[in-house]
């Protein structure tokens, strides 16, 4: 999708503070962090929500999860803890309609999160 912010990051049209990149996934620092550590993991492929991925392409989420796992280890987030968040739609707070996983850490997290 040509006007999608995250697609522009994937194409290199917009810079991002990347912390990890591998196998069709980029992890970068959120420009409006909600925690001391706030990273976003995005696949190169554009889908607004997980439910839009065809069964034949579900390997996308395996690659995203693998990148998240590698990133939390690389950034030592596995020592104190972290929260993963995936939103879909405006009611959930999704600001960019491109699948992404928020990786939040560096402070206590309340529950429920809403």
Name the one residue in this structure whose structure tokens are 């206590």: 108
Q: Which of 38, 51, 98, 100 is catalytic?
A: 100
Among candidate residues 63, 48, 59, the one with its CA nearest the CA of residue 97: 48
Q: How far apart are CA 34 and CA 20, in angstroms?
A: 20
Q: What is the three-class DSSP state of 56?
A: helix
Q: Is 44 tagged catalytic?
A: no
Among candidate residues 79, 8, 20, 6, the one with its CA nearest the CA of residue 48: 6
Whether the CB-CB separation of 13 and 6 falls below 8 Å is answered with: no
Which residues are part of the catalytic machinery? 100
């Amino acid at each position: 999708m040509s006007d999608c912010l995250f697609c522009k990051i994937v194409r290199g049209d917009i810079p991002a503070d990347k912390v990890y990149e591998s196998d069709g996934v980029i992890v970068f620092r959120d420009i409006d962090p909600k925690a001391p550590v706030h990273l976003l993991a995005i696949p190169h492929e554009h889908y607004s929500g997980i439910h839009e991925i065809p069964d034949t392409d579900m390997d996308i989420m395996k690659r995203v999860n693998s990148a998240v796992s590698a990133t939390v280890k690389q950034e030592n987030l596995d020592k104190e803890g972290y929260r993963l968040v995936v939103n879909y739609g405006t009611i959930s707070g999704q600001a960019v309609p491109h699948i992404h996983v928020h990786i939040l850490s560096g402070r206590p997290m309340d529950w429920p999160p809403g």
